[in-house]
Amino acid sequence: MPRQIKVLRLLRRLLEEPPRRAFSAAASHEDPGQKATQENTMKDTDIKRLLYAHLVCIFSIILSIFIPSFFLENFSILETHLTWLCICSVFVTAVNLILYLVGKPNTSSKRSSLSYKVTRLLKCYIYFLMSCFSFHVIFVLYGAPLTELVLETFSLAVLLSTFTTVPCLCLLGPNFKAWLRVFSRNGATSIWENSLQITTISSIVGTWLGAFPIPLDWGRPWQEWPISCTLGATFGYVAGLVISPLWIYWNRKELTYKNN
């Protein structure tokens, strides 16, 4: 009897093993069409999140135009331009930080420590200051007044750093190698990094295009330095926020990411 029981158990194992292997093989080899559908669904979800985040950023710029008029007398973009530059920079920075805090992934215990957070915050502050001074130097090299209107030139540098450097710090952190990777050819590894490329380039191009009307003899108040450049940077930033989700949605089937 014991031998018969052993033989029966052995046969039972042999009969049960093939279905298990077949099931595991079927589980490991998914249908390519089903996998592609899941990837497209994930991309569509990310694009919607990206669109909502960009709409919030655009709304922050609109708020920086209208809300100060309730608290400051004679407030306008042209007459009190420096004030608006500071308010717009603060609004956009605050919105980017809120979006980062809401959408950031769960961090490890090491990265959630107080010392790590303080070090990261100091690095981000240094990166932002370096960006501001770098843009200021570039503006001077391209013809901005060296000794006159220094505050206006630096305010433009702060605004452009807000549109370009702050999103990089929120998305990539103070990691210069990651910045170089994202802005290299085919370096983006996510939809958010593609959007970062578009908004950064459009902000810089908008600032550059905004300088063209300055030497013209039209006699308009918005031709004074650096009003046209700040308006160009703002329009370029908003254009990038609008264009990037549309471009990514249009090319979603062609976009492939290494780390996805």
Q: Which segments of the chain are extended strands (E)?
A: none
Give the H/E segment covering residue 140. helix 114-141
Longest CA–CA span in the chain (Å) reads 110
> Using one digit for the tens of pLDDT, what is the confidence trace for 245-254?
999 999 888 7
Pick the residue with more confidence: 198 or 27? 198
Residue 27 confidence (pLDDT): 41
Residue 62, helix vs strand vs coil: helix
> ∠132-138-143 over CA atoms, to 5°?
130
Q: What is the mean pLDDT of the chain?
A: 83
| Closest alpha carbon to 197 in 63, 205, 224 | 205
Rounded distance, CA 79 to CA 72, Å?
A: 12
> ∠77-78-83 over CA atoms, to 5°?
55
Pick the residue with more confidence: 215 or 152? 152
Q: Is 165 exposed, middle or buried (0-12, 13-18, 19+ CB in 10 A)?
A: buried
State the amino acid at position 240 in one-letter form. Answer: G
Residue 6 confidence (pLDDT): 54
| Closest alpha carbon to 99 in 63, 59, 127, 64 | 59
pLDDT above 70 (res 17)? no
> Using one digit for the tens of pLDDT, what is the confidence trace for 173-201?
999 899 999 998 778 888 999 999 999 99
| Closest alpha carbon to 247 in 103, 102, 93, 54 | 54
Pick the residue with more confidence: 149 or 10? 149
Q: Establish how many alpha carbons lie within 13 A of residue 53's alpha carbon, considering only the half-sphere containing its beta carbon.
A: 27
> Using one digit for the tens of pLDDT, what is the confidence trace for 193-235?
999 999 999 999 999 999 999 888 788 888 889 999 999 999 9
3-state secondary structure labels for all residues of 113-134:
CHHHHHHHHHHHHHHHHHHHHH
pLDDT above 80 (res 10)? no
| Closest alpha carbon to 91 in 116, 122, 66 | 66
> ∠33-37-41 over CA atoms, to 5°?
170
Residue percentage of the chain with pLDDT more than 90? 56
